[in-house]
């Protein structure tokens, strides 16, 4: 199985938070991990935003971004499908990056086949849209 992680899921690999253990287990059980090519800048922005809010110390931010950069080359990257993402944003009321993530996952599913991949996000609106589009959405333990 190929595991598709959006930014909210991928960050759980580099910052210990609720459901990090679930994501790490899913990764261990997967043949490969995929994400959108836009996930890196989105993740960097999210980590920096958490530092500005005081949720992460500067050392934790540097460590998370270094680990993300070190592992980035191991991920299967899916190119931007901007027209598809735009349609998904309108159809499901998604934010821009959520629509991009869903479009990438659907593009990957088209290439692999429906039974070959699973989707992970911790954005409920995005998860509802993914289910509506026929993706298998992983749920964390106890959730």
- Closest by Cα among 121, 97, 113, 85 to 134: 113
One CATH from 3.40.50.720, 3.40.50.1010, 3.20.20.220, 3.40.50.150 for 2-121+128-132: 3.40.50.1010
Quote the tokens at residue 116. 């070959």
9-53 residue pLDDT tens? 999 999 999 999 999 999 999 999 999 999 999 999 999 999 999
- Closest by Cα among 113, 104, 112, 111 to 130: 104
Domain boundaries, the chain: 2-121+128-132
Is residue 143 very low, low, confident or very high in pLDDT (cuts 50, 70, 90)? low
Is residue 2 very low, low, confident or very high in pLDDT (cuts 50, 70, 90)? very high
């Amino acid at each position: 199985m190929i595991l598709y992680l959006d930014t909210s899921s991928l960050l759980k690999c580099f910052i210990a938070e609720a459901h990090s253990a679930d994501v790490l287990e899913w990764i261990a059980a997967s043949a490969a991990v995929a994400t959108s090519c836009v996930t890196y800048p989105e993740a960097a922005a999210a980590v920096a935003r958490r530092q500005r809010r005081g949720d992460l110390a500067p050392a934790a931010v540097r460590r998370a971004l270094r680990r993300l950069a070190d592992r980035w080359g191991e991920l299967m990257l899916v190119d931007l499908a901007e027209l598809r993402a735009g349609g998904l944003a309108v159809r499901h009321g998604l934010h821009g990056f959520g629509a991009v993530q869903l479009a990438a996952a659907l593009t990957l599913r088209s290439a692999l086949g429906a039974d070959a991949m699973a989707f992970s996000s911790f954005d409920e609106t995005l998860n509802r849209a993914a289910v509506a589009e026929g993706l298998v959405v992983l749920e964390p333990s106890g959730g």
